[in-house]
Chains A and B, each alone.
Chain A
């Protein structure tokens, strides 16, 4: 294999693995959008909040598993309060109002996590070895591989949960049609709590993975912005879309930066994902896997 091709594959692979990280955030968005048609801008803040809480508790000498469980409980509590104090009161409002409410929530969470845990960067060592090894002739980072495995397990368990459990069935019913779900006895309130809890769990996993790579810091909130082109590319209501979208965006931005970035002067990662997403959307306006919504005439 010539070194040029080898280099190409290394770039592609590292892009794909970054893309998996974007997918993790996007999955959180999609879950909530599916169940409550709320575009949850606070997902990024939830990632930060979960990561800060975990790192904070762990930093006080509690062992990792226990602090993970405590953080999970905190996220469930958060889901409960969000449902109780926000969702329940803004149901049936315009999507824009709900979007605004989640932005308000994201401000609140950012403020809260910095108030409690401070604004310093914390290292989060979760014991994933950061070695590199060579398969064929391509160098692979073991950390990235572990992340990919974690993501795969997470997605598979989500799929199992949605397709094979009674609660998952209820969630799908609500996603399809709120009123029909209510009329057969599904409690909307419970479903929302569950979905936000799951999104909180996904946020926790995301927070651990991102935190272990970049350190736990307030800037983690910004990765939510990276997930936005991913979800519009994949379609707002599709988990497979979130994953495929993440991979396309991750690989696309890396390849563009390496091969064409110098023409544009570098640091193109900030806008290339959006251009890729828009390019796809011009062909398919509701995303790769999004359903074509029928509008009232």
Chain B
């Protein structure tokens, strides 16, 4: 059909190194990109503001956790905390040192989160699996406590929730959902490509070696310590940038409740449901975790059932829980596996119709 079935071997180094191997997939990717770029022109501001922008921002955090958990095999329940570190760093910089361009603020926010990530990644050198996952909760609770106690972090504002100043990037004020979308889109694209390349470089391969077998990795001369800590650093960098964007672009306010333990769990859901150890899975999972509750509440209001909103909220929670269980049972490798199987079928069509 659309795909050429015969296998093509790469005939140059650049062909071998390309992120998307098949020409047909490149066409699909280009069309998708075009669609995404033109989307803001006809999508409603609500659609951009309430769905796409949070989706893109949380995808960054999900990619970050996926690098750590999926590629380096170190489970973490502290993503929300790293996001908070990024957000508060960016806020302090933007309010106290306005000379620095906001994009640099975001980058510094990421670096700051990375530093915190390295410190709180240290337990990973001794612990593993669930022990480590729970140890990372320490950072979550510590950061939540810290940012609710020390008023310096939000410039001693009387209420704990501060509003974010208006900002502009390269002289362009970011004031409409369209502009916000393009800004976020560029950042997400850059960070996705970076993540893809990281996972294919020696760093990513070290992570995977450590994940699959620490002793064997050590035997091959990989520094397990450096691999784990770099995974924590880079993962936290992603989360930090996502956290800063979450406050600056999506919420426009900053309060520690936006980075609670729920957020950490949600991000973990995203990658498990989407697919652990795949960058694409991070996006799929984010879409799932973000869209399903919205979809459920839309359906509930469309049905206009004669029951209280509290009951509807409980039912949504139940259905969401059931869906998680369902997907874990049906596709423990994540929704990305379904997508890949479908893609594989398309590629080999019509030779595998019977199968």
Contacts and interface: CB of A to CB of B under 8 A. Distances in A.
Interface of A: 39, 86, 89-90, 93-101, 103-112, 114-115, 118-119, 225, 228-229, 231-232, 236, 264-268, 270-271, 274-275, 277-278, 281-282, 285-287, 295-297
Nearest to A94: B332
20 contacts: A86-B325, A86-B329, A96-B272, A96-B276, A97-B332, A100-B324, A104-B321, A110-B321, A114-B310, A114-B317, A118-B310, A225-B137, A232-B134, A236-B131, A265-B150, A277-B138, A281-B127, A282-B123, A282-B126, A287-B131
A297 B321 contact: no
A80 B135 CA distance: 32
B142 interface: yes
Contacts, number: 138
A112 B314 contact: yes
Shortest Cβ-Cβ A-B pairs, 9 listed: A107-B321, A104-B324, A111-B317, A274-B138, A108-B321, A111-B318, A115-B314, A104-B325, A271-B141
A94 B311 CA distance: 34
Given A97-B272, A101-B325, A270-B144, 9 more contacts: A39-B130, A100-B273, A100-B328, A107-B324, A109-B321, A110-B317, A110-B321, A265-B149, A270-B142
Contacts of A93: 328, 332
Given A96-B276, A100-B269, A232 B149 contact: no
B325 A271 contact: no
B216 A232 contact: no
A232 B128 CA distance: 11
B131 A111 contact: no
Interface string B194-229: 000000000000000000010110000000000000
B322 interface: yes
B48 interface: no
Nearest to B320: A107
A217 to B, nearest CB: 14
Contacts of A281: 123, 126-127, 131, 135
Interface residues of B, number: 46
B145 interface: yes
B131 A286 contact: yes
Contacts of B313: 114
B85 to A, nearest CB: 15
Nearest to A42: B321
Interface of B: 75, 123, 126-131, 134-135, 137-138, 141-142, 144-145, 149-150, 213, 215-216, 261, 265, 268-269, 272-273, 276, 310-311, 313-325, 328-329, 332
Nearest to B70: A96
A44 to B, nearest CB: 12
Contact of A297 (B131, B213, B310): B213
A89 to B, nearest CB: 5
A90 B328 contact: yes
Contacts of B150: 265
Contacts of B145: 267-268, 270-271
Contacts of B329: 86, 89-90, 101
Nearest to A286: B131
Contacts of B127: 281, 285
B141 A274 contact: yes
Contacts of B320: 104, 107, 111
A86 B321 CA distance: 12
B19 to A, nearest CB: 27
Nearest to B331: A97
Given A101-B329, A103-B265, A107-B317, A274 B324 contact: no
Given A100-B272, A104-B321, A295 B314 contact: no
B321 A106 contact: yes
A285 B328 contact: no
Contacts of B137: 225, 228-229, 274
B123 A111 contact: no
Nearest to B146: A271
B318 A90 contact: no
Given A103-B324, A225-B261, A111 B75 contact: no
Contact of B328 (A101, A264, A266, A271): A101
Given A90-B329, A95-B130, A104-B322, A232 B135 contact: yes
B324 A97 contact: no
Contact of A271 (B142, B265, B321): B142
A213 B338 CA distance: 48
